[in-house]
Structure 1
Amino acid sequence: MMIPNFGMGTFRLKGPTLTELITEAVAMGYKHIDTAQAYENEADVGKGLAQTRSEDVFVTTKVWFESFKHQQVLDSLKQSADKLQRDCIDMALIHWPSPNDEVPMEETLDALTEAREQGLIKHFGVSNFTIDLMDRAIAHVGADNIMTNQIEVHPFMQNRKVTDACESNDIKVTAYLPLAKGEVVENDTLRAIAAQHNVTAAQVTLAWEMQKGFITIPSTTKTEHLRSNLKAQKIQLTAQDMADIDGLDRNERIIDPDFAPDWD
């Protein structure tokens, strides 16, 4: 099963509200749910999935860097599977590069490979990886074993060097924070394009990402936004629309913790 190019992100969402949103999302037709150990919400996601017919929903989680040693990876993924109420997790990502390379990436990749062999996960990938880090991962396990690199991508932070490197290695880009924490809805260019298509600026942004071949995983606390986001899959932007949005890039990174790698 390939990763659906549209999904629901769950960053900063927790509790019964998230469980209900997951249930509603799956009922609406969402086929991809993205979570992470560090979000501390896998159990809430699992409850929502358990309340739905979710056998065909692709579930992604991410291993936190406190669990990067070989056995820790395996143990943490077993815990994640229990919380998510899944026999097998569709995909597990290295959430961030190990700070200061404290645990060699190769050890974590070997553990993910074993997790796949054991049937704990179906696929694995990386997140927040620079070009150099991707090259190192590819050298160790091969590009065909790295399903995605999940990185910050939105109209104001287009991360082109990394997205181009992913494309050249046939590694899918998963774009997180696609709506730039809601900033896209205030942008005049995006609003003008939205008016031409009789849609919203948020929908235009998501359509732009999908037309570029990216997987996009917007998160929301509101059911109406869940439904609105889903409809973005049906929007077809013109070449001029795409070019106008491409012109909005200003390298405006939102997520940049002190343990982040040296960005490209």
Structure 2
Amino acid sequence: MTNVTRHGDGADAVPTRDGMAMLGYGTWKLADRETCIDAITTAIETGYRHLDTARMYDNETYVGEAIADADVDREEVFLATKIWPDDLGYEDAIEAAYDSLENLDTDYLDLLYIHWPAKAYDPATTLEAFDRLVEEGVTERIGVSNFTPELLADACDRTTAPIFANQFECHPLLPRRRWREACADHDVHPVAYAPIARQEVFEESTIVEIAAAHDASPAQVSLAWLRQRDVTAIPKAASADHIRENWASLSLDLTDAELAAIDGIETRSRKVDPSFAPWN
């Protein structure tokens, strides 16, 4: 269910779904301590309350420091992290999750993802471990990432705790309609990483024209398109200007005609494609 809340004085309205803000802040590649803490501090001051990290990003400790130093209560922050495929055996997953709690200096996670359905991932034992982590209060919600519609359906059938979200690459050049429909079918929230196609949307004429009509940036158009298609976006940005620019996308509303024009883009570009991806 989508509702609207506001973060901070005069901040833009942030749509939320079941407690998760639909515009979050991604921390991929923020492995330098000072850069990571400064960026997250700026993000929180700007209004972001949904922070996304992962064990393989090597920055959970810095994310935890930034949250602890922020002028907001921990309960105001929706904090998500992910367990890498090497650690998805039953005992390893339990140990990794508790290690993330320590790294992040928090008593609980809002959302814990399976990063990829690969390597040590076993639907029965991995998902059993994630159910246990909910029971033990380590995480309030469990999610999956990079799960095809078929793998998502299988995961939803196996867990006691509901699958809350499926995080995957999604943007106007990789719209993933079938994946989004599968999420809707299973009452799972789609979360988009690489939501501006690593700046490739800046080269797409349809998006550039729509951006010019709104005096907006192509990045803001891409983020608005995702939001209006009921997809949560977690753009990563290191500079304060880009962090704030992405946030300003919340005030951009595209027309039905503009949404349809973006839906009609024929360019296809995948930015994340490891050899172990389930589609390979």
SS at match of 1:261: coil
- What amino acid does structure 1 have at the position aligned with 2:248? K
Correspondence for 2:45:
27
Correspondence for 1:72:
92
Q: How does 1:37-52 map to 2 (within 5 A)?
A: 37-52=55-70
Alpha-carbon separation, structure 1, partners of 2:220 and 2:131: 37
Q: 1:178 to 1:103 in 2, by over 3 A?
A: closer
Alpha-carbon separation, structure 2, partners of 1:249 and 1:74: 43
Q: Contact 2:174/2:268 (CA < 8 Å) preserved in 1?
A: yes
Q: Contact 1:159/1:251 (CA < 8 Å) preserved in 2?
A: no
Correspondence for 1:139:
157
**Deviation digits for residues 41-76 of structure 1 (CA, Å, limit 9, x no counterpart):** 111111111110242010110011111111211111
Q: Are 2:228 and 1:211 equivalent residues in the alignment? A: yes
Correspondence for 1:251:
268
Q: Contact 1:157/1:249 (CA < 8 Å) preserved in 2?
A: no
Correspondence for 2:249:
232
Q: Kindly, what percent of the aligned residue pairs are identical?
A: 35
SS at match of 2:184: helix
Aligned residues: 260
Alpha-carbon separation, structure 2, partners of 1:131 and 1:207: 24
Task: Report deviation, 1:23.
Answer: 1.0
Q: Are 2:166 and 1:109 equivalent residues in the alignment? A: no
Task: Report deviation, 1:249.
Answer: 4.2
Alpha-carbon separation, structure 2, partners of 1:249 and 1:24: 36
Alpha-carbon separation, structure 1, partners of 2:121 and 2:245: 41
**Deviation digits for residues 198-241 of structure 1 (CA, Å, limit 9, x no counterpart):** 11111011000000000000001110110110111111100011
SS at match of 1:122: coil
Q: Contact 1:63/1:73 (CA < 8 Å) preserved in 2?
A: yes
- Give structure 1 regions of 4+ aligned residues with deviation exceeding 3 angstroms: none
Q: Contact 2:118/2:277 (CA < 8 Å) preserved in 1?
A: no
Q: Are 2:191 and 1:181 equivalent residues in the alignment? A: no
Q: Contact 1:70/1:108 (CA < 8 Å) preserved in 2?
A: yes
Q: Contact 2:109/2:140 (CA < 8 Å) preserved in 1?
A: yes
SS at match of 2:113: strand
Task: Report deviation, 1:251.
Answer: 3.3
Q: How does 1:193-204 map to 2 (within 5 A)?
A: 193-204=210-221
Task: Report deviation, 1:134.
Answer: 0.9
Correspondence for 1:130:
148
Counterpart pick for 2:208 among 191, 201, 219: 191
| TM-score when normalising by structure 2 | 0.89
Aligned-residue Cα RMSD (Å) equals 1.4
Counterpart pick for 2:106 among 57, 71, 86: 86
Alpha-carbon separation, structure 1, partners of 2:261 and 2:73: 38
Task: Report deviation, 1:165.
Answer: 1.0
Q: Are 2:20 and 1:3 equivalent residues in the alignment? A: yes
Q: Are 2:188 and 1:168 equivalent residues in the alignment? A: no
Q: Contact 2:174/2:269 (CA < 8 Å) preserved in 1?
A: yes
Alpha-carbon separation, structure 1, partners of 2:215 and 2:269: 28
| TM-score when normalising by structure 1 | 0.95
